[in-house]
Structure 1
Amino acid sequence: MPEIRARPAPGGDTRNYGLPFTLDGIEKAVSIRIEGLSRNLVADLPDLSLDLLEIAALVYGCDAAVSRGGPVDTRLGRAWYRDFQIEVPVRCQNLWTRKDVRTALSEVLNFVSGDQFKFTFTAHPGAGGHQEFFKFSPDDGWQADRVMMFSGGLDSFAGALEEMFEHKQQVALVSHFSATKIAPRQKALKAALEGRCGPKSCKHFPVKIQLGKGGNKETTYRTRSFLFAVLGMIVAQSFGRDRVSFYENGVVSLNLPLVANVVSTRATRTTHPKTLNLMTRFFTGVFERTAKIDNPYFWRTKTDVVETIARLGLAEKIRVTNSCADTRNRTEQHPHCGRCSQCIDRRFAVLAAGLEHEDPEEAYAVDLMQGARREVRDREIALSYVRNALDYEVMAPPDLQSCFPEVTDSIGSLGVPPQVGLEQVNALLQRHGKAVAGVMRTKAPKDPAPQSLPALFGDTQREPRLRAGPKVPVAPSPVLQARLILTLQSTSKITINDKIELVGPATVRLLTILAEQHLEAAGAGLDPFDYPCTEAGKLAGLLDVTDESLRRQISRMRGDLRKRFASADPTLSDEFEIIENVPWSGYRLAPDRVDVRRKT
C-alpha cells in the first residue's frame, strides 16, 4: 500500500511551482506550470482553489509514480488495482475533513482509476496568505460565457467551434499538456477559432503538470481526467460560472470494451456518465453551490463530430487536430500512428463523412485500409473495432445489455428511465455501427494489401450480418478468469491446476519461455487478446531446435496433455490446446484459457 506524504511547497520561482512529497519515504515532486492563467483571474484565487489544485496534482503524480504491475506481474494483472494512503496539507482543513467531502473525493477517484484512495488532511502553514502561485500575464477584463476542456482533438475543437460560431459564446479553453508536440497544435486551432469567430471569442488557458523527470512508472494516467476537471472548475469559479464541459462523443464515453475482457479502468472513463455525475457531486459539495461537469456531445458519434466541423466552415482544420494516443513517436510526416483505437476511430469517421481530402492518408504511419498491421496487438485492435461496430449496427437493446453488462453503469447515470436510456444508447451505437459498416462496404479496396485491415477481416465479413446470438457477458474485472492454472514451480517442473506435473526438459523449457512472455504482457496491462506471440523462428532458436522439430514438439505435447487432462479431470478434456499458433505471428499461451503463476 503506497504511502504518500505531501509537504507545503517552498518559496521560489513561481513560474515553476514544485509540490514536494514522499512516496514510501522516497523524495519526489510534481511540477505545476500555469503560465496561461491571467493576472486578474488568479489575483482572487481562494485558498480552496489552491487546495483543490494541489490535491489533484498530487493524485496525478502518485498515479504516475506507482506501477500497476511492472513488466513482469506474477499476479497476472492483479496489481492493476492499487491502494493509496495520502497525507496532504490543506488550507481549508475544516472543509476537507468533512465526511461528505472526503467520501465524494474518494468515490470519484476510485471509479475513475479503479484504485482506492484514502486521505488524511493536515493544516497548511500558508492558509490565508499563499496566493501568488503562478506567473501571470496582463488581461483586458475579458469574461467567459462557457468554460470547456480543450485537448486539440476533433471533439473538443468541434465543441468550441459550435459554442463560439453558432451559439455566439465567449469560451475559456482549458488545456493540459505534457508533450511539447501537442501545444503548437492547440495554439494553431485556437488561432483558427479566432479567425472564424472573432478575436474575443475565446481565451486559452494552457496548463502543464507532470511528475519530476524520471519518476514515471505508469502511463495509463487514469486520474488525469480528475486533474482536468479541477483545472476547468478553478477557471469556471473564477469567472463566476457553475459549469465545465468535456466534449467527447458518446461511443467513447460509454467505456464499452473494444476487445472482450477489456473492461473496467483498462478503458478510459474520462467522460463516462457516472464519472461526470460523481464529479458534479464532489464539486458541488466543495464549493457549496452548483458546480456541474457535463458532456454536451454524449449523444453524438465521431462521424457527427466531423460533420459538425465541416458544417461550420472549418473542415480544412481537421488535419490540424490531434487524435493519436502515441504522442511520443509522433513525427511531422506522420502525426498519427494509425494503429491505436483513437486513430482508427478518427479515420473511420472522416471516411464516413466523406471528408478524407481534409485528412490526408499520408498523415497516418499505417493507413486504415491499405497499411500492413504486423503486430498482434495492432491487428486485434483494428479487427475488434470493426467487429464491435458491425454488431452494434444490428444489435437490439436486450442484446446490448446482455453483451455489455457494464453499459448499466452509464444508463443509470443518464437521468432517464432505464429502458429509455437503454434504447437511446442502443440507437447511438447503431448509428456508429452503420457508419463503420458503410465505410467497410464502400471504401475497402477490392484487392487489399496483405495484412491490411480489409484483408484480415475477410471479404465475406464486409456484408451486413445478423447476430447468431448474444455474446457471453464478460465479468467486469480486468483479471482474466482462466480455467487452467499453469504454475512455474522451478526451472525443471511445471504444474497445471496442481493435478498435472510436467518435468520433461524440452516441455518445461518451451512452456517457461511462453509463460514468461505471458506474465510480462499481463504485468504491462495489455488486454488478454493483445498478448504478443513469439515468432516460430525465434522460439526454435531459443530452444535450439529446427522449426520442424518445434512443430513436432508442440504436437506431441498437445497429444500428451489431452490424455493427461482426460485422466486427471474429464471436464478438461478439451483444454489441451494451451498453446496458440497465431497466423503470421507465432506462438503464445492461450490467453482465454491459461493463468500463469510463479511459485515463490
Structure 2
Amino acid sequence: MIVCGGAEPPSAPGTPPVVRRLDIGDKGGQVRLKFDQLAGLIHTRPSPAELDLIEIAAYVFAADQTVSRGGPTRIDYGDRWRRTLRFHIPVRRSDLWSRRHVRDALRDALEFLTDDQYEFSFTSTTARAADVQYLLDRVGPSAGEFDEVALFSGGADSLCGAIDATAVRGRRQLLVSHRPVNHVYARQQALYRAVADRRRAGTPRPAHVGVTAHLADGVATAHTQRSRSFLFAAVGGVIARRVGLSELRFYENGIISLNLPISPQVIGGRASRTTHPQALARLARLLSLVFESEFAVVNPFEWATRAELLVALHAAGHADLLADTVSCIHTRDQTTGAGPHCGRCSQCVDRRLSVLAAGLGPAHDPPAGYREDVLVGARDGADLLLVERFVGAALDVRRIASPVAFAAHNPEVNRALRYYGLPPAVAAERVFDLCRRHSDGMSRAVARALGEQVNAIVGQTVPPASLLGLILGRMPTPIGLPPAVGPDTDPERLIVDPARFTVRTRGRECFFGNTNEFHLVARMARSVGDYVPYDALREAVWPGIDAESFTIQKTMSNARRKLVAAGLTELVFDGRQKQHYRLQIAAATVAR
C-alpha cells in the first residue's frame, strides 16, 4: 500500500500494510512538482478534478521509480517484470473518483502503459486550488489564443512537430516540457526560442511551459519511468483545457509509436508504449471522463518514419536545428562538456541511422554529439544484441510478402490495429507499408554507413563487435564456442556457424541472428548427449547476469520453435531433468 498526500491509511480488515508514503512538496515531500510560467498563460486555474488528476499522476510517476522491478541486471519475462501497486490518495472530487468507470479507465490506461497492475482507493480532502503550491506564476499574462497544445521533449520528432506547426502551418503552439535536470531544460528552452524565431510571418509567438517532476535525492530505486507519459498527458490535457482546447498532441514517428518488440527480451511494457495508438485511446477516454467532455489525444506523425520527418524538416529549410536536439534516453548520464547522446541506447541508434537514411550530414547531427560511435563503437552483451536486432528486425521486413504475414510475424501489431480509427484491414495495410518504408530507410542508412567507412573496411579496422562489424559478418566466435568446421561437405553434420549465426544440417539451415537463442543452441551443441546445468547456460549466454530460470526456459522454447519452423526437427532438447537441458540429435554428427 502506497499512502499519499498525508492521508490516513484505510482501516478496513484485510488492507495491505503501508509500505511507502509519498507527499508533494519541497519541505519533507518526496515528490518535487512545479509548473513554471503556467498561471499567466491559462484562462482560469485548474478545476478540483483536474488538480486531482495531476496529483494522482505525480504519485504514480513517483511510485514507478521507488518500487523496483529487480534492478538493471535482472533479465526476466512476463509476470515477474510486472508489479502490483496499491494507492490510497486524498482527492477533492471523491464523487468523481469513486465512480467505477472512472477508476477502471484510470487503471486501464496505466496498466497498458506500464504493464503493472493497479488498485486505487480515495479519500476526501478539503484542499483548494488556491492552496496548491506547485502552480507558479513566473510570467505575465499572454495575449491571444492558442491553436494547439503539444508535448515538447526537445528531441528530433518534437522539433519536427513544432516546425511543422509554427513555421509551415502558421499555428500558435503552447509547448509543454519536462524538466528532469537543469541542463536538459536549458537545451529545451534554447530550442524553443529557435523555433519561435522561425515561426511563419504573422503567426503569434508560441509559448513554453516547463514542468518540474522528479523525486527528492535518494528516493528513486528504479528508473523505468513507464508512467512518465501518463503524467505529461495529464498535465498537457489540463493545460489544453484551461486554454479552451479539447485536444493534446504528441509528435512521435510511427515506428517508435508502434514500437514492436525487436527481440524476445523486449516484451510487455518493456517495449515502451508512450504514444502507442492504444495508449493514446485509453488516455483520451480517461481525460474525457475527468473533464466530463470529449477530449482527444493524437499523434499527427503516426504514419511517418523518422527519416521521412527529417527529410520534411530539411525541405522546410530548418534541418540545421536538428543539431540542437537530444534524443538519448539516458538524461541522467549527460554531463557538461560531453556529447548529449550516449550512442548506445535504441533512441541514439534510431536517430543516427535515420539521419543517414534522410541524406543529412555531420552539420545536422555532429559526430561529437555521441559519446560512443553508433556505427563502429565496440559493444558487448545487451548493447550488441540491441543494435543487431534493431537493424536486423527492420531489414527482416523486406522478406515478408503481405500484411497478413507481417501480423503473424509480429503479433504485437494486433494490439494497435483497431485504435487507428480505420477498418482493421486498412490499418494493417498501412502499418505494413510504414514498416516497409522504415526497412527501406534502414537499408539506405546501412549502405551509406558502409560507404562512409570504406577505408576502415578495407583496412579491416572496423571492430567486429560493432554495428558495422555485425553487418560485415566479422563477429568473433563467442567465448567457449569452437569455430565451425567447414566446408559443409557432410550432409549429416550439424554445423553451428558463429560467423553467420546459423545452425544447419542435412541441407537445411536456421538463421538466428546474434540472439540469446543462437548462443543457447551453440552452447548445447558443445555437449551433445550430456545434460547441461542451467548455471553453465547462464555463464555462456548471460555472462555476469543472474538470469532467471524462466528466462532460460523461454529462450529454449523460442529456439525450439525457430528450429522446427526451419525444418530441423531432428534436434531434440530434453528438459526432463530439473535445471538441466540435453541436446539429442537423430543420426547426425556435430562439427567440432
Q: TM-score, normalised by structure 2?
A: 0.76
Deviation at 1:366, TM superposition (A): 2.3
Deviation at 1:372, TM superposition (A): 2.6
Query: What are the equivalent positions in structure 2 for 1:13-32 lying under 5 Å apart?
Result: 24-25=19-20, 29-32=30-33
1:438 aligns with 444
Equivalent residue of 1:181, what SS? helix
Deviation at 1:415, TM superposition (A): 1.9
Does the C-alpha gap of structure 1 residues 512 and 574 become closer, same or farther in structure 2, counting only changes over 3 Å? closer
Query: What are the equivalent positions in structure 2 for 1:480-495 lying under 5 Å apart?
Result: none
Deviation at 1:367, TM superposition (A): 2.2
1:343 aligns with 348
Deviations 1:528-585 (A, max 9, x none): 99xxxxxxxxxxxxxxxxxxxxxxxxxxxxxxxx99969969x964279xxxxxxxxx
- Whether 1:182 aligns to 2:181 is no
Structure 1: gaps of 5 or more residues: 10-21, 462-467, 473-479, 485-499, 530-561, 577-600
1:65 aligns with 66
Deviation at 1:262, TM superposition (A): 1.3
2:90 aligns with 89
Residue identity in the other structure for 1:291: F
Structure 2 CA distance for aligned equivalents of residues 515 and 347 of structure 1: 29
Equivalent residue of 1:244, what SS? strand
Query: Is contact 1:169–1:201 with CA below 8 Å preserved after alignment?
Result: no
1:193 aligns with 195
Does the C-alpha gap of structure 1 residues 328 and 575 become closer, same or farther in structure 2, counting only changes over 3 Å? farther
1:574 aligns with 583
Query: What are the equivalent positions in structure 2 for 1:158-237 lying under 5 Å apart?
Result: 158-197=160-199, 200-237=204-241
Does the C-alpha gap of structure 1 residues 6 and 316 become closer, same or farther in structure 2, counting only changes over 3 Å? same
Equivalent residue of 2:42, what SS? helix
Query: What are the equivalent positions in structure 2 for 1:360-379 lying under 5 Å apart?
Result: 360-369=366-375, 371-379=376-384
Query: Is contact 1:403–1:470 with CA below 8 Å preserved after alignment?
Result: no
Residue identity in the other structure for 1:179: V
Does the C-alpha gap of structure 1 residues 470 and 342 become closer, same or farther in structure 2, counting only changes over 3 Å? farther
Equivalent residue of 1:147, what SS? strand
Deviations 1:510-540 (A, max 9, x none): 67877996754569x99x99xxxxxxxxxxx
Structure 2 CA distance for aligned equivalents of residues 424 and 289 of structure 1: 31
Query: Is contact 2:2–2:21 with CA below 8 Å preserved after alignment?
Result: no
Question: Of residues 290, 299, 311 in structure 2, which corresponds to 1:286?
Answer: 290
CA RMSD of superposed structures (Å): 3.6
Deviates more, 1:63-72 or 1:240-249: 63-72
Query: What are the equivalent positions in structure 2 for 1:331-410 lying under 5 Å apart?
Result: 331=335, 332-357=337-362, 358-369=364-375, 371-395=376-400, 396-410=402-416
2:420 aligns with 414
Structure 2 CA distance for aligned equivalents of residues 433 and 513 of structure 1: 34
Deviation at 1:201, TM superposition (A): 2.6
Query: Is contact 2:50–2:290 with CA below 8 Å preserved after alignment?
Result: no
Does the C-alpha gap of structure 1 residues 143 and 70 become closer, same or farther in structure 2, counting only changes over 3 Å? same
Residue identity in the other structure for 2:391: V
Query: Is contact 1:393–1:431 with CA below 8 Å preserved after alignment?
Result: no
Deviations 1:196-225 (A, max 9, x none): 116833100010111221111111111111
Deviation at 1:72, TM superposition (A): 7.2
- Whether 1:151 aligns to 2:153 is yes
Query: Is contact 2:4–2:22 with CA below 8 Å preserved after alignment?
Result: no
Structure 2 CA distance for aligned equivalents of residues 471 and 125 of structure 1: 63
- Whether 1:79 aligns to 2:83 is no
Deviation at 1:78, TM superposition (A): 4.1
| Fraction of identical pairs, as percent | 32
Structure 2 CA distance for aligned equivalents of residues 202 and 253 of structure 1: 25
Deviation at 1:146, TM superposition (A): 0.3
1:429 aligns with 435
Deviation at 1:24, TM superposition (A): 0.7
1:120 aligns with 121
1:246 aligns with 250
Does the C-alpha gap of structure 1 residues 514 and 30 become closer, same or farther in structure 2, counting only changes over 3 Å? farther
Deviation at 1:362, TM superposition (A): 2.5
2:486 aligns with none
Structure 2 CA distance for aligned equivalents of residues 232 and 222 of structure 1: 17
Structure 2: gaps of 5 or more residues: 8-16, 24-29, 476-507, 522-529, 556-570, 586-592
Structure 1 CA distance for aligned equivalents of residues 542 and 509 of structure 2: 36
Structure 1 CA distance for aligned equivalents of residues 342 and 152 of structure 2: 21
Deviations 1:350-409 (A, max 9, x none): 11111113112222222233x232322221111111111111234221221111101001
Equivalent residue of 1:313, what SS? coil
Deviations 1:437-480 (A, max 9, x none): 1121233133431233222222699xxxxxx99999xxxxxxx9
Query: Is contact 1:31–1:209 with CA below 8 Å preserved after alignment?
Result: yes
Query: Is contact 1:159–1:247 with CA below 8 Å preserved after alignment?
Result: yes
Does the C-alpha gap of structure 1 residues 299 and 356 become closer, same or farther in structure 2, counting only changes over 3 Å? same
1:541 aligns with none
1:314 aligns with 318
Structure 2 CA distance for aligned equivalents of residues 421 and 351 of structure 1: 28
Deviates more, 1:402-411 or 1:191-200: 191-200
Equivalent residue of 1:105, what SS? helix
Deviation at 1:92, TM superposition (A): 0.9
Query: Is contact 1:60–1:223 with CA below 8 Å preserved after alignment?
Result: yes
Equivalent residue of 2:196, what SS? helix
1:598 aligns with none
Deviates more, 1:78-87 or 1:185-194: 78-87
Residue identity in the other structure for 2:146: A
Q: TM-score, normalised by structure 1?
A: 0.75
Residue identity in the other structure for 2:4: A
Query: Is contact 1:85–1:117 with CA below 8 Å preserved after alignment?
Result: yes
Q: How many residues matched?
A: 494
